[in-house]
């Protein structure tokens, strides 16, 4: 092997080693772990014991950041509630839980698309500005009744401004 080839191979190998050491040190420095802030957990067996999910649906929010909180429970081939009406222009915090297996929660023709895992409360913040009917589908295969797992959000005129 030529002298210059050895030099370049040594420089390349050395750079790779330095990069991996820096990556390893930065990954474990000061006990860093994957981001977990803002993740809320819930025992899937006791979802119905939580006030928010005992009667899922749309509720006015006490938070100044949102007009409404929208709660859904995903379970064996079913979303509860099966239909929700939301005033146009509403700022909504959507929270979804699963009682059994992994489900998807996609609101067609919007940017809402979440994976709903048992034990986690999946949250999405959005505005419903356009009047219309939006289909909710499960986009994670959850069993034989997967294709029938739907719900509907109806955005109706009379937005958040009308409530003030």
Q: What is the CATH number of the domain that holds 48?
A: 2.60.40.420
pLDDT tens track for 91-150? 999 999 999 999 999 999 999 999 999 989 999 999 999 999 999 999 999 888 888 999
d(CA 12, CA 71): 54
Number of domains in the chain: 2
Cα–Cα distances (Å) from 145 to 46, 57, 95, in that order, read 24, 23, 23
3-state secondary structure of 62: coil
14: containing domain? 1-33
Same domain, 26 and 78: no
> Would you place residue 158 in the very low, low, confident or very high pLDDT band (cuts 50, 70, 90)?
confident
| DSSP code for 138 | -
* Residues 6 or more apart in contact with residue 86 via CB below 8 angstroms: 58, 68, 70, 92, 128, 153, 154, 155, 156
Same domain, 55 and 17: no
- List helix spans (H) across the chain: 3-28, 51-54
Cα–Cα distances (Å) from 54 to 6, 18, 111, 132, 144, in that order, read 69, 54, 27, 27, 26
Same domain, 75 and 147: yes
Same domain, 129 and 65: yes
> Does pLDDT of 162 surpass 50?
no
pLDDT tens track for 45-91? 999 999 999 999 999 999 888 999 999 999 989 999 999 999 999 99
């Amino acid at each position: 092997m030529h002298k210059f080839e050895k030099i370049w191979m040594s420089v390349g190998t050395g750079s790779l080693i330095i990069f991996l050491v820096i990556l390893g040190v930065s990954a474990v420095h000061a006990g860093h772990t994957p981001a977990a802030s803002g993740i809320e957990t819930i025992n899937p067996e006791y979802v119905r014991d939580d006030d928010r999910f005992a009667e899922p649906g749309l509720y006015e929010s006490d938070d100044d950041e949102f007009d409404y909180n929208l709660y859904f429970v995903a379970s064996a081939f079913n979303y509860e509630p099966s239909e929700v009406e939301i005033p146009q222009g509403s700022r909504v915090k959507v929270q979804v839980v699963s009682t059994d297996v992994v489900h998807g929660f996609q609101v067609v023709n919007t940017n809402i698309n979440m994976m709903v895992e048992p034990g986690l409360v999946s949250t999405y913040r959005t505005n419903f500005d356009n009047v219309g009917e939006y289909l909710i589908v499960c986009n994670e295969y959850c069993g034989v009744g997967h294709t029938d797992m739907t719900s509907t959000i109806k955005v109706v005129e009379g937005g958040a401004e009308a409530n003030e």
